[in-house]
């Protein structure tokens, strides 16, 4: 166990099945009592000198506080809006973002927002103070590379030429005309490790336009059961953001939320910590966190929070009251109607289809969302949760149509491809069947697996056995998904080429998804439309 900091010492039998909202209410009441007791104890032991030390930290010259953990995110319109998030180790004054067409001609300061996050575990250890900073650059030109720098009072990278850091981002292409080829990447279940770093290094070599993170981001909550007995250390987020900065400072790092990302300490839905750390595009249902959509070229992307519908874990089950699923239906329909959209890609944490022995498939995802994927002919679904790589055949109404490595799938006829990309860097899981991938094919006709069934809060979640014939590629190793997008002119064939790449750069899967290119109204589109 990497940390000795439990959320609270609540016995398992009491805390086992509390919702995140119930846990939050209990934590707040206990923290109030424990913090009061801790303050009395602290004043008896350390008194004035400790207070003086903290005051000193609070007034550090701005020049001595260096930003880290830069991470980009698309706004609701990636053609015109990019958000920049970062962290500072101590409180700063007047933080800002500067953006410009060249590194030596950055524009005026754009005011940034500090989102402080205080983690007080009630006297178990001193409270942790984290300072996340965010600013948004709007009114940008589509398909344009910009330079940017972040700073605060006393620290402007353009003044400190020896130390200052200037990074770049490139906005999404215009909706007019035919989009150019591009690549995006995806994985989930990353954490902080040498494998996570290796994946990051191989990932940036793909020169992705953006990256999708399918949840279980950091593992600050190492247990991930959504319970008060989970272990939690907020400082893991500092390591996580620093680890990913070489990629995320230049590539929009689009996160969704997994079971390890629910942190009951901060809010009734457990997501106020995530709201402090991340800039989500903000165009999803009001009740949900990390739920949004964006358009890039001829691809519509949707991020979902599967904690809302999964059967396996009940901490946040049903927290949007069905609003997320209703929004998904509407948003898929809207994106499918867009005349410049060929492909729909949806990513979220819990697997619709996996045979990994750890978590297998979730019946809640299948019940609530798979019918919508069928209805709107979603082309690709990307999940994590199972720490392996697995790719299905094309599936419609649960019926598979074989898609061997190297073959081409036509989703309108064949169905949706489901990818588990859970080899992001956290410890690996296993399969009940042999690995089977490029260079080591071991096909099997049938695999004994299971799907999580619905259960009441009083019941232990049940695993329903199922015989699986749709598991086409399995790889037990650290890896990620790269998707090469080749748009075509109206009436020709656009393609998504899915490549699974290991942390060492080997390709272990490839399949092509092909669609006749949409079109007909491109000339009417403008770059302000969502
Ligand atoms: Fe995970
Ligand atoms: Fe997970």
pLDDT one-digit tens code per residue, 182-197: 999 999 999 999 999 9
Mean pLDDT of 162-166: 76
Q: Is the pLDDT of residue 57 over 80?
A: no
Helices (H), 16-117: 20-45, 47-58
pLDDT band at 126 (very low <50, low <70, confident <90, very high): confident
Neighbours of 502 (CB within 10 A): 19
Lowest mean pLDDT, pick from 137-141, 164-168, 194-198? 164-168
For residues 114 and 133, give the distance between their C-alpha atoms in angstroms, rounded to a whole number: 4
Average pLDDT, the chain: 90
- Rounded to the nearest angstrom, the distance between the alpha carbon of 71 and the centre of ligand 1 is 21
pLDDT, one tens digit per residue, over 237-266 is 999 999 999 999 999 999 999 999 999 999
Q: Which ligand is nearest to the CA of 189?
A: 1
Beta bridge partners, 512, equal 408, 497
Mean pLDDT, residues 1-14 taken together:
45
| Residue 261 CA, ligand 2 centroid: distance in Å | 9
Give the pLDDT band (50/70/90) at residue 229.
confident
Q: Minimum-distance ligand to the CA of 429? A: 1
Given pLDDT bands bounded at 50, 70 and 90, which one contains residue 27? confident
Mean pLDDT of 108-132: 91
The mean pLDDT of 75-91, rounded to a whole number, is 97
Cα(345) to ligand 1 centroid in Å equals 21
What is the predicted pLDDT for the residue at 490? 85
Question: Distance between CA 285 and CA 330 in Å, rounded?
Answer: 11
Residue 349 has pLDDT above 60, yes or no: yes
421, pLDDT greater than 90: yes
**Mean pLDDT on 277-304:** 97
Q: Ligand 1 centroid to 64 CA: how many Å?
A: 36
What is the mean predicted confidence (pLDDT) over 426-445? 97
Q: Which ligand is located closest to the Cα atom of residue 351? A: 2
Q: Which residue has the tokens 């069947």?
A: 433
How far apart (Å, rounded) are the C-alpha atoms in residues 309 and 325? 9
Residues that place a CB less than 5 A from ion ligand 2: 216, 258-259, 385
Cα(170) to centroid(ligand 1), Å: 30
> How large is the average pLDDT for residues 419-442?
97
Angle between helix 194-204 and 236-248 (nearest 10): 20
The whole-number average pLDDT for the span 80-98 is 97
The pLDDT-based confidence of 492 (bands split at 50, 70, 90) is: very high
State in Å: Cα 385 to ligand 1 middle: 4
- What is the C-alpha separation between 520 and 530, in angstroms, rounded? 18
Of the chain, the percentage scoring pLDDT greater than 90 comes to 78
Q: In this predicted structure, what is the pLDDT of residue 155?
A: 92
Q: Which ligand is nearest to the CA of 388?
A: 1
Q: What is the pLDDT of residues 357-375, one digit of tens each?
A: 999 999 999 999 999 999 9
What Å distances lie between residue 425 and 322, 344, 500, CA to CA?
A: 32, 27, 15
**Distance (Å, whole) CA 322 – CA 308:** 8
Q: Compare 479 and 458 and report the one with higher pLDDT.
A: 479
| CA 350–ligand 2 middle distance (angstroms) | 7
Residue 81 CB partners (closer than 8 Å, separation 6+):
74, 75, 136, 137, 138, 140
Number of Cβ atoms within 10 Å of the Cβ of 406? 10
Q: How much distance in Å is there from the Cα of 213 to the middle of ligand 1?
A: 12
Backbone angles phi, psi at 200, to 5 degrees: -60, -45
For residue 89, the CA-to-ligand 2 centroid distance in Å is: 29
Whether the per-residue pLDDT at 3 is higher than 90: the answer is no
pLDDT at 527 over 60: no
The pLDDT value given to residue 521 = 42
């Amino acid at each position: 166990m990497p940390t000795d900091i439990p959320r609270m010492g609540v016995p398992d039998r009491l805390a086992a099945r509390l919702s995140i909202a119930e846990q939050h209410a209990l934590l707040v009441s206990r923290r109030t009592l424990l913090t009061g007791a801790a303050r009395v104890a602290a004043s008896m032991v350390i008194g004035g000198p400790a207070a003086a030390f903290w005051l000193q930290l609070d007034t550090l010259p701005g020049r001595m506080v260096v930003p880290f953990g830069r991470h980009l995110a698309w706004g609701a319109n990636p053609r015109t809006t990019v958000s920049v998030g970062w962290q500072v180790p101590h409180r700063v004054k007047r933080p800002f973002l500067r953006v410009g067409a060249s590194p030596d001609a950055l524009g005026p300061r754009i005011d940034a927002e500090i989102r402080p996050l205080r983690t007080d575990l009630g006297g178990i250890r001193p409270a942790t103070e984290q300072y996340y900073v965010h600013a948004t650059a709007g009114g940008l030109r589509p398909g344009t590379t910009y330079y940017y720098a972040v700073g605060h009072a006393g620290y402007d990278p353009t003044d400190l030429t020896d130390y200052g850091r200037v990074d770049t981002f490139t906005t999404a292409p215009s909706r007019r005309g035919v989009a150019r080829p591009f690549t995006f990447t995806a994985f989930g279940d990353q954490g902080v490790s040498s494998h996570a770093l290796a994946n990051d290094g191989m990932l940036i070599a793909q020169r992705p336009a953006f990256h999708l993170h399918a949840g279980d981001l950091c593992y600050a909550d190492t247990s991930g059961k959504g319970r008060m007995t989970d272990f939690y250390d907020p400082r893991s987020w500092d390591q996580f953001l620093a680890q990913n900065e070489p990629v995320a400072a230049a590539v929009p790092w689009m996160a969704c939320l997994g079971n390890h990302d629910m942190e009951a300490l901060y809010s009734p839905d457990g997501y106020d910590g995530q709201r402090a750390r991340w800039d989500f595009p903000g165009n999803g249902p009001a009740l949900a966190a990390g739920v949004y959509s964006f358009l890039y070229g001829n691809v519509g992307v949707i991020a979902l929070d599967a904690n809302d519908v999964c059967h396996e874990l009940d901490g946040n089950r049903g927290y949007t009251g069905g609003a997320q699923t209703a929004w998904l239906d509407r948003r898929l329909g809207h994106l499918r109607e867009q005349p410049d959209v060929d492909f729909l890609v949806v990513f979220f944490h819990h697997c619709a289809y996996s045979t990994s022995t750890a978590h297998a498939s979730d019946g809640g995802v299948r019940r609530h969302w798979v019918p919508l994927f069928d209805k709107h002919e979603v082309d690709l679904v990307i999940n994590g949760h199972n720490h392996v790589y697995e790719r299905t055949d094309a599936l419609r109404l649960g019926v598979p149509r074989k898609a061997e490595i190297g073959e081409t799938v036509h989703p309108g006829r064949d169905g949706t491809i489901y990818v588990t990309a859970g080899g992001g860097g956290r410890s690996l899981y296993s399969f009940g069947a042999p690995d089977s991938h490029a260079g080591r094919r071991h096909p099997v006709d049938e695999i004994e697996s299971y799907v999580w069934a619905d259960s009441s809060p009083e019941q232990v979640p049940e695993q329903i056995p199922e015989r699986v014939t749709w598991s086409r590629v399995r790889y037990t190793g650290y890896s990620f998904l790269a998707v090469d997008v080749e748009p075509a002119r109206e009436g020709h064939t656009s393609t998504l080429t899915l490549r699974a790449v290991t942390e060492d750069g080997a390709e272990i899967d490839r399949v092509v998804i092909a669609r006749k290119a949409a079109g007909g109204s491109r000339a009417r589109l403008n770059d302000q439309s969502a």
